[in-house]
Amino acid sequence: MQVLTPEMMKKCDQATIKAAYPEILLMESAALATAKMAEEIIEKEISFEYKSELKLSFLIGQGNNGGDGLAAARILKNWGYQPQIVLTCSPSELSGVNALNFKLAVLNKIEIYQFEQLKTKEFISLIKQSDLIVDALLGTGIKGQIRGSVKSIITLINQQLVKKPLTLAVDIPSGIIAANGNLAGDALKADYTVTMAAYKRGLLLYPGKDYAGKIKVVEIGIQSETIQENSDQLKVFNQQEAKKSLPVRKNNSHKGSFGKLALLAGSPGMTGAPILTAKAALKGGLGLVYLLTAAEIAEMTAAQLPELVSVALPSQAGLIKETAAAKILKFTEKVDLIAAGPGLGQDKGVKTLIENILKESSLDLILDADALNVISDLELLKNYKGKLTLTPHPGEMAALTGLSIKEINNNRIDIARKFAQKYQLNLVLKGAATITAAPDGRAYINLSGSNGLATAGSGDVLTGLIAALMAQESDNFRAAALAVYIHGRAGEFAAQANSDYAMIASDIIANLKKVYQELQ
């Protein structure tokens, strides 16, 4: 499913209206979907005897988001509810379809208040008594910081209410910028969001994602071709996508059928990282893992995981010698893919090794953690002969691009995509709302995960999973996106079993089986 910017959404609206779909009809569809969602929420969350006893309060802004709200209130009134409306402007300031929907609200005898004419106390008491708030203050048309009545309403609700009523946001929580998920000063937190036609970026990026609650995308009459034509190949990776992408495993297989991985990882003091990666790769379905690591730790790491084949690299005092490069390249002739980085350290030998692999190999190659940190010449990435995948967290991405971590997080979608296209590689930009970007411009925002995934070793597990899925699926981009999804979903299961506080990276691996069982 597509993810849009406000500009793309506007183009979709305009194209639909131009193709003879009247604007009022689009709004009516949006309103009907909103009313249906409100009714679903009421039935699920509130115990009541008569519809008419419920207090449904609609907060209405001056633009079309407010228009959706006005029409939804009218529909609910016709279904037997008693909605009330709080208007942020005077009725004379409404125009076009909004003015018409206001007239219809009056005609249907809906109780209407103007915010400016209410005393603060009256407004607060009205909100406090509400069973459900429908937030139709601001949608994709927000410009600048929140101001005027809209700001007063958001501030009052956020500052004066200890317990906020159940809230349904129309299209996007008011105050969240649809283009990037940032706050326009402040925003109204929703329990649910009903969003029109497609996801908006701001619903899936933080902090916006935290404000949106449970999101439902509803169809309002805009054709999927129109959305396709006016969008940029950015999609969500959800369970549906994961089910579609799960590689089929043939029965007449042997361990070579599911890939052989050369894992270049670990150093003295960091012997756990390679084990997490190797274990995640094997549990992810990969056939065979060779761990290539410093001679001093080769034996002890092998002892931690019996399924592992450990290969000692020439080293001195635990540091891999620069001469190990030739041995590794020779060795990799018998594997299908290479993953390098977890716990590898960043000394000179490691840098030489990674540069040599980038210059000489043509296998599928995944670079993570320290293998990313030692790269100084980005041309090596561009010129790599095989298919390359990088898995930086924002800090590593900052080092690769010269941007700050803040800049990366403020624009993670576009930065990830540009980098992937410029250097012709797959890029997994980790962090909350992981982005997977392909060299051809495709990109996914991942929807699975929980904050418990922000734990030591979580990235090492992801690298192993990416290797596992790549070994089993021919489209490396899809494999990486699927691995990110599975990692996140396993994290959700791990959090359910242990809590977000108490889960560790091994718990993610322990819960992979549940994800595979769910997807099969």
Ligand X SMILES: NC(=O)C1=CN([C@@H]2O[C@H](COP(=O)(O)OP(=O)(O)OC[C@H]3O[C@@H](n4cnc5c(N)ncnc54)[C@H](O)[C@@H]3O)[C@@H](O)[C@H]2O)[C@H](O)CC1
Considering the complex, state which of residue 165 and residue 318 has its C-beta at the smaller distance from K ion.
165
144 lies in the binding site for ligand X (CB under 6 A): yes
Angle at 498 between CA 494 and CA 499, to 5 degrees: 95
* Separation in Å, CA 21 to CA 15, 217, 223, 246: 9, 20, 11, 39
174 contact choice in ligand X, K ion, none (CB below 5 to 8 Å, kind-dependent): K ion
Among 3, 8, 9, 508, binds ligand X (CB under 6 A): 9
Considering the complex, state which of residue 97 and residue 273 has its C-beta at the smaller distance from ligand X.
97
203 lies in the binding site for ligand X (CB under 6 A): no
Angle at 347 between CA 343 and CA 352, to 5 degrees: 100
Nearest Cα neighbor of 42 from 79, 85, 86 is 79
Tokens 């183009």, residue? 11
Of the listed pieces 46-54, 132-140, 335-343, 509-517, which binds ligand X according to CB under 6 A?
Answer: 132-140
148 lies in the binding site for ligand X (CB under 6 A): yes
180 lies in the binding site for ligand X (CB under 6 A): no
Among 135, 296, 368, 396, binds K ion (CB under 5 A): 135
27 lies in the binding site for ligand X (CB under 6 A): yes
What distance in Å separates the CA atoms of residue 132 and residue 519, rounded to the nearest whole number? 35
Of the listed pieces 56-64, 318-326, 435-443, 446-454, which binds ligand X according to CB under 6 A?
Answer: 56-64
What does DSSP say about strands 192-196 and 166-170: parallel, antiparallel, or unpaired?
parallel
Of the listed pieces 146-154, 155-163, 369-377, 476-484, which binds ligand X according to CB under 6 A?
Answer: 146-154
The footprint of ligand X on this chain (CB under 6 A) covers a number of residues equal to: 32
Considering the complex, state which of residue 141 and residue 268 has its C-beta at the smaller distance from ligand X.
141
Burial 372-382 (b: 16+ CB within 10 A, else e): bbbbeeeebbe
135 contact choice in ligand X, K ion, none (CB below 5 to 8 Å, kind-dependent): K ion
Are the beta carbons of 316 and 268 closer than 8 angstroms? Answer: no
Tokens of 399: 């080092």
* Separation in Å, CA 52 to CA 79, 105, 421: 10, 17, 56
Q: How far apart, in Å, do the first and last CA atoms of the chain sit?
A: 21
Asked whether residue 141 is marked as a ligand-binding residue, the answer is: yes
507 lies in the binding site for K ion (CB under 5 A): no
Sheet holding 192-196, edge to edge: 111-114, 83-87, 56-60, 132-136, 166-170, 192-196, 214-218
13 lies in the binding site for ligand X (CB under 6 A): yes
- Smallest gap from Cβ 313 to ligand X, in A, equals 57
3-state secondary structure 272-316: HHHHHHHHHHHHCCCCEEEEEEEHHHHHHHHHHCCCCEEEEECEE
135 lies in the binding site for ligand X (CB under 6 A): no
94 lies in the binding site for ligand X (CB under 6 A): no
Among 60, 138, 372, 469, binds ligand X (CB under 6 A): 138
* Separation in Å, CA 233 to CA 209, 366, 393, 414: 20, 24, 23, 12
Of the listed pieces 61-69, 120-128, 307-315, 398-406, which binds ligand X according to CB under 6 A?
Answer: 61-69
Alpha-helical segments (H) within 19-145: 23-45, 64-78, 96-107, 120-128
- Smallest gap from Cβ 46 to ligand X, in A, equals 24
- Smallest gap from Cβ 109 to ligand X, in A, equals 23
Among 18, 109, 143, 250, binds ligand X (CB under 6 A): 143
112 lies in the binding site for ligand X (CB under 6 A): no
28 lies in the binding site for ligand X (CB under 6 A): no
What distance in Å separates the CA atoms of residue 481 and residue 483, rounded to the nearest whole number? 5
Considering the complex, state which of residue 222 and residue 462 has its C-beta at the smaller distance from ligand X.
222
Are the beta carbons of 314 and 323 closer than 8 angstroms? Answer: yes
Tokens of 333: 């002739």
157 contact choice in K ion, ligand X, none (CB below 5 to 8 Å, kind-dependent): none
Asked whether residue 67 is marked as a ligand-binding residue, the answer is: yes
Asked whether residue 459 is marked as a ligand-binding residue, the answer is: yes
- Packing angle between helix 96-107 and helix 23-45, nearest 10 degrees? 50
- Smallest gap from Cβ 148 to ligand X, in A, equals 5
**Using the 8-state DSSP alphabet, how is residue 116 labeled?**
G
Are the beta carbons of 286 and 258 closer than 8 angstroms? Answer: yes
Residues 221-280 that bind ligand X (CB under 6 A): 222
359 lies in the binding site for ligand X (CB under 6 A): no
222-229: long-range contacts, CB 8 A cutoff, minimum separation 24: 222/12, 222/13, 222/16, 222/21, 222/26, 222/197, 223/16, 226/12, 226/15, 226/16, 226/19, 227/2, 227/4, 227/12, 227/197, 227/198, 228/2, 229/15
What distance in Å separates the CA atoms of residue 177 and residue 114, rounded to the nearest whole number? 25
Among 139, 181, 259, 341, binds ligand X (CB under 6 A): 139
Asked whether residue 373 is marked as a ligand-binding residue, the answer is: no
Tokens 């999804």, residue? 485
Among 130, 140, 277, 511, binds ligand X (CB under 6 A): 140
Of the listed pieces 88-96, 101-109, 174-182, 284-292, which binds K ion according to CB under 5 A?
Answer: 174-182
18 lies in the binding site for ligand X (CB under 6 A): no
Task: Pick out the residues of the known binding site for (6S)-NADPHX.
Answer: 64-68, 139-145, 171, 273, 343, 393, 460
Task: Pick out the residues of the known binding site for AMP.
Answer: 430-434, 459
Residues contributing to the site for K ion (CB under 5 A): 135, 169-170, 174
Task: Pick out the residues of the known binding site.
Answer: 64-68, 135, 139-145, 171, 174, 273, 343, 393, 430-434, 459-460
Residues contributing to the site for ligand X (CB under 6 A): 9, 13, 26-27, 30, 61-68, 138-148, 150, 170-171, 184, 196-197, 220, 222
